[in-house]
Structure 1
Amino acid sequence: MSVHFVGAGPGAADLLTVRATRLIGAADVVLYPGTYLDPDVLAHVGPGARLLDTQHLDLDRITSCLVEAHRAGHEVVRLVSGDPSVYSALAEQTRRLDVAGVPWDVTPGVPAYAAAAALVGRELTVPLVAQSVVLTRTRARSTAMPETESLAAFAATRATLVLHLAITRVRALMAEIGPDYGADCPVVVVHRASQPGEQVLRGTVATIADAVEAAGLRQAAVVLVGHALGSREGGESFLYDPARDRGPA
């Protein structure tokens, strides 16, 4: 038996992968993040499976539940919001499972920023506008950021910026990146993308804080910043250029 870390996607039950639904349906024990998950996702859980909401548990208690379930001979799914590769505490949990001798694997999911971009119909990498995406977070009551990963350093690249865990500090963050992106740079805030009650706020570096504060958003939102979010102007991809030599037909 293994512990399966499964990306639950941004929330919508129909944005789970086929593999994810298969693993969830076969699990004896499912741990899930109740704060961020649309309850409909749990409709994929099989009858008789034990459900455990982890929103009030610390990491050691969560890991203890995983180890205990494995040793009891159960198939275990640990659902994480979005994709396990970003801000999922996968590294901390798997370190502990390795020490305990518990096998594990990972199934990817749709990340929240991808769901947000899809909702507003925007590509984050537009030729001649932005060809890089920076996924980062800010520090408030959370783990310290590495010294080399300051927001100012990322802003200097003018890449499309995706801010996680930042919704309560939008005004200060916009002031910090404003000199690089400009006051008129487009900003999109998406709250609970793909879930009931999803909300989209559009503005600029200069105006988005007012919109966020007026809406009263405090959690479960992703902030997208960059000129790729604006007009549909931009270059054309060389990959699809009619003049590109594609070799023998």
Structure 2
Amino acid sequence: QIRRLHVDGIAYEIVPGVPAYAAAAAALGQELTIPEVAQSIVLTRVSMQSTSMPKGETLENFARTGATLAIHLAVRNMREIERVLTPCYGADCPAVVAYRVGWPDEKLIRGQLDDIRLKVRAEKITRTALILVGPALGAVRDFKESALYDPAKPHVLRPVVGVDLVEEHNT
């Protein structure tokens, strides 16, 4: 959309900000990735009345990975999201709708794929919301710690005598 400002000769300033998915994670007070549960986050949207999605970039394809999905501009399409994602994640997969996240009137609606749509409807949310879906959003308590924190595993901030990380990882 910067391109349109250029075309119309409109001056603008780019100000770094916090993306909605990160603001939602902060508001929820939880990680969006968990080792051996979900290690990726997919930022996407659905093509309701907007530009079509590129071939292969479908909710179903993204869901097959098991990643945490952050779905923008789709709160009016909750029924379709539930229909497409349930076979991949299961009806009890955790889901959150973050309405106006980062604003004083933000709302965080927690549920699962089989009930989040009705919860969103009850709150009368029809726009300005981010949908998060994935197993990492659940109450996962028993999971393997990241290797980053394993004292037996070397990394650049915790070298181990005799291990040259530059040589070992740059073949």
Q: TM-score per shorter chain, which class?
A: 0.7 to 0.9
Runs (4 or more) in structure 1 with deviation over 6 Å come to 102-105
Q: How high is the TM-score relative to the length of structure 1? A: 0.58
Aligned equivalent of 1:200, options 105, 108, 113:
108
Q: How high is the TM-score relative to the length of structure 2? A: 0.83
Equivalence for 1:222: 130
Residues 124-153 of structure 1 show CA distances to partners (whole Å, capped at 9, x for unaligned) of: 111111111000001112111112211111
Q: Give the drift of 1:200.
A: 1.0
Alignment of 1:13-92 (within 5 A): 89-90=1-2, 92=3
Equivalence for 2:63: 155
Q: Give the drift of 1:188.
A: 0.6
- The count of residues paired between Structure 1 and Structure 2 equals 157
1:168 touches 1:218 (CA, 8 Å); kept in 2?
A: yes
1:160 touches 1:225 (CA, 8 Å); kept in 2?
A: yes
Equivalence for 2:159: 247
**Percent of matched pairs sharing the same residue:** 46
Equivalence for 1:96: 7
One-letter identity of the residue aligned with 2:4: Q
Aligned equivalent of 1:237, options 141, 146, 149:
146
Question: Aligned partners of 1:93 and 1:108: how far apart in 2?
Answer: 19
Q: Give the drift of 1:178.
A: 0.5
Greater relative contact order (CA < 8 Å, ≥ 6 in sequence): 2
One-letter identity of the residue aligned with 2:108: V
Question: Aligned partners of 1:203 and 1:247: how far apart in 2?
Answer: 43
Residues 80-124 of structure 1 show CA distances to partners (whole Å, capped at 9, x for unaligned) of: xxxxxxxxx23x336637xx6x99764321011111111011111
Q: Give the drift of 1:232.
A: 3.2
Alignment of 1:139-150 (within 5 A): 139-150=47-58
Equivalence for 1:129: 37
Question: Aligned partners of 2:74 and 2:147: how far apart in 1?
Answer: 35
Q: Give the drift of 1:180.
A: 0.4
Q: Give the drift of 1:201.
A: 0.6
One-letter identity of the residue aligned with 2:149: Y
Structure 2 counterpart SS, 1:146: coil
Question: Aligned partners of 2:119 and 2:82: how far apart in 1?
Answer: 13
One-letter identity of the residue aligned with 2:159: G
Aligned equivalent of 2:83, options 167, 170, 175:
175
Q: Please list every run of 5 or more consecutive structure 1 residues that lacks an aligned counterpart in the other structure.
A: 1-88
Question: Aligned partners of 1:169 and 1:182: how far apart in 2?
Answer: 18
Q: Please list every run of 5 or more consecutive structure 2 residues that lacks an aligned counterpart in the other structure.
A: 162-171
